[in-house]
Amino acid sequence: MRVLICAVGRMRAGPEADLLEDYLTRFDRTGRALGLTLGEVREVEDKKNRGKDAEAELLARAIPDGSVVVAMDERGQVLTSPEFAQKLGHWRDDGRSDLTLLIGGADGLSKDLRARADFKLSFGKMVWPHMLARVMLSEQLYRAASILSGAPYHRE
């Protein structure tokens, strides 16, 4: 299953970008043997600042047909890392070819795009900066692949 991250905004060079690249490389390396590959990080930008509906339109165009869609949303479900790994494994085992993880802009995701999602995932009740959310998500993808492979990275 190919995993894509679709996010509003461009990641600038710096420590967040370095961490993102590191965790995504680790995920791709660990996940390949498990049938999980990194598709790409698709960044969209509403250059006219028309708001989250315009961002939603751009994000929707970036989602491959037939993809499992996961919206990162503060109102979503909070999972433990093993629960997230289990979900990832189920989507893969169901034969889905793509998993798309959506990260909205400063105002979050539109109501329509959240409604379209197959699953809504939250990192808790706190709101995180969107560039850090990418890093946190990439780390959790790597952690999930490590859990599924039985590697010692995750300790309970």
- How far apart, in whole angstroms, are the C-alpha atoms of residue 6 and residue 89? 20
Please give the C-alpha separations between residue 29 and each of 25, 39, 70, 87, in angstroms, as whole numbers.
Answer: 6, 12, 22, 20
Q: Buried b vs exposed e over 102-112: b needs ≥16 C-beta within 10 Å? A: bbbbeebbbee
Per-residue pLDDT at 111: 92
Could you give the residue ranges of the DSSP H alpha helices within 71-121? 81-93, 111-116
Question: Does the residue 82 lie in any domain?
Answer: yes
Looking at every residue in the chain, the average pLDDT score rounds to 91
Question: Does the residue 30 lie in any domain?
Answer: yes
- How far apart, in whole angstroms, are the C-alpha atoms of residue 7 and residue 126? 19
Q: Buried b vs exposed e over 32-43: b needs ≥16 C-beta within 10 Å? A: eebebebbebbb
User: Which helix (H) or strand (E) is 79 found in, with range?
Assistant: none
What letter represents residue 30's amino acid? T
pLDDT class of 156 with cuts at 50, 70, 90: low
Assigned token pair, 115: 């409604």
pLDDT in tens, 86-131: 999 999 999 889 999 999 888 888 999 999 999 999 999 888 888 8
22 close to 113: Cβ distance less than 8 angstroms: no
Q: Which of 5-19, 42-56, 76-90 has the lowest mean pLDDT?
A: 42-56
pLDDT mean over 3-25 = 93
CATH number for the domain that contains residue 26: 3.40.1280.10
Question: Does the residue 23 lie in any domain?
Answer: yes
- How far apart, in whole angstroms, are the C-alpha atoms of residue 52 and residue 29? 34
pLDDT at 22 over 90: yes
Question: Does the residue 12 lie in any domain?
Answer: yes
Per-residue pLDDT at 40: 87
Question: Does the residue 154 lie in any domain?
Answer: no
Question: Does the residue 155 lie in any domain?
Answer: no
pLDDT in tens, 61-79: 999 999 999 999 989 999 9
* Domain count of the fold of the chain: 1
Q: Residue 91 sits in which domain range?
A: 2-149
Per-residue pLDDT at 125: 86
